[in-house]
Structure 1
């Protein structure tokens, strides 16, 4: 069975040239709306980090980072998976204070990613992080930030429709919040992805709370690294993607671990060896600011707002022959 879906009667709303122009327009509009909502300043981002720094995102723990030797340093580097931990260190170094934060254009290579309509080995996202107070480490505050991001996306979609009237995608600003356990209780006979599909079909803008810890069935809703998000204060933002008739995750985000949550989650994940890294020592010793942050997929947002059926229509990457053959008639891969 093909892993590439070509919707029946699919035709791109915009041609290739207009698509490229619209991508730039979306990125400019959303950055303006996002930075205004969250009070963020743009900073330069690393493409790679020292292999021994402990700053790379371990994702679910099985993905292999792209590594390379640096002869002039007599050391190794690795291409980032995301900037989840690097941003928190940067906030301290750049002397940010509660109520303000940073964002960066992050480009990454995820060599072990499965290639399909929504996934590529090339990842581009807005990585953002904001300093918060101890009192803001709550679910209500997390929901408030999520709503601000959704509003920024809706504003971007509205401006896009004004510039390109043929593009009729709208963003529902009513966010349905549900915990991963509540979702499992609703659909006990479905796996996690099937639950997401079933729920988001009825609630087109959904935020699934508390991802990473074990559910009552002994399995997590999804794997999540134990050393940046607090599993009790995080979640995924999903939207209904009409061309593919599926749920699309656009952002993973959360309030970050404090000293207590870090140690508890490292123990649960059997990852206590990470305490050898300087980053983890700084968190454990309360030397880094308390923060909230996440990543927002740039290509996925463009795909969603432009009604595209394949992520390869909005980014340049590498594709296997099966994908190329499946897309050749109706989907133009960049």
Structure 2
């Protein structure tokens, strides 16, 4: 589908950027920190829950990322078989109620998701993007009803969607500093982004040879 095509293009840009970084800074090439996989594995949040029903959400993500290296988890926001969404999503943002895939006779939902990778420097899950196809008039009504926020449908933004005054679109956010941190093999966000950090954090990082920008 269209969402998958767009996600694949974004992934090609990220892996292409990694190749450029490695060419320019060959000292970053380290067998301890292998390159990102060329292919992104697509999986529904419902499938991950079925695979690891005993684990909480973040641990499920970590396990699936350890298995594939990089994944796009779609269907975030819809209530899963355990009675909870994989993660909460705004009702007037991405379309997470849309019927999408039928696997083994099971209907799934959601035209949104996150790109997550395994960070070999930190040894943890690493989210790069959160994105999706935006709500239509129909999915907006349904999602606002589920979220018990129907009273907000009178707001100008919501009225523009309901009256088809806003074109259908896809969007989201790419964590710029998170991508830089990953590609430059850094252990902390502060190594690529300047901000105010507590004195204690600077002291801890210095002990571990992590150079937080000041």
* Fold match by TM threshold 0.5: yes
> Matches of 2:42 and 2:183 in 1, distance apart?
22
- What is the deviation of 1:321? 4.2
Report whether the alignment pairs 1:333 with 2:198. no
Q: 2:46 aligns with which of 177, 181, 185?
A: 181
Instruction: Look up the match of 1:323.
Output: 201
Instruction: Look up the match of 1:238.
Output: 116
> Matches of 2:200 and 2:147 in 1, distance apart?
36
Instruction: Look up the match of 2:24.
Output: 163
Structure 2 counterpart SS, 1:239: strand
Alignment root-mean-square deviation, CA: 1.2
Work out which structure has the larger RCO, using CA pairs closer than 8 Å and 6 or more positions apart in sequence.
1
- What is the deviation of 1:188? 0.4
The answer (yes or no) to whether the contact 1:154–1:173 under 8 Å persists in 2 is: yes
Report whether the alignment pairs 1:300 with 2:178. yes
The answer (yes or no) to whether the contact 1:176–1:207 under 8 Å persists in 2 is: yes
**What 5-or-longer segments of structure 1 have no aligned partner?**
1-139
Alpha-carbon distance change, 317 to 189 in structure 1, aligned in 2, over 3 angstroms: same
- What is the deviation of 1:176? 0.8
Report whether the alignment pairs 1:226 with 2:95. no
Q: 1:209 aligns with which of 55, 69, 74?
A: 74
> Matches of 2:79 and 2:150 in 1, distance apart?
18
Instruction: Look up the match of 2:162.
Output: 284
> Matches of 1:294 and 1:309 in 2, distance apart?
25
Structure 1 counterpart SS, 2:126: strand
The answer (yes or no) to whether the contact 1:173–1:205 under 8 Å persists in 2 is: no
> Matches of 1:274 and 1:193 in 2, distance apart?
31
> Matches of 2:199 and 2:65 in 1, distance apart?
31
Report whether the alignment pairs 1:150 with 2:36. no
Structure 2 counterpart SS, 1:230: coil
Structure 1 counterpart SS, 2:88: coil
Instruction: Look up the match of 2:147.
Output: 269
The answer (yes or no) to whether the contact 1:312–1:333 under 8 Å persists in 2 is: yes
- Report the count of equivalent residues: 195
**What 5-or-longer segments of structure 2 have no aligned partner?**
97-109
Deviations 1:233-285 (A, max 9, x none): 00000111001111111000111100010011111111223213211101111
Structure 1 counterpart SS, 2:95: strand
Alpha-carbon distance change, 273 to 322 in structure 1, aligned in 2, over 3 angstroms: farther
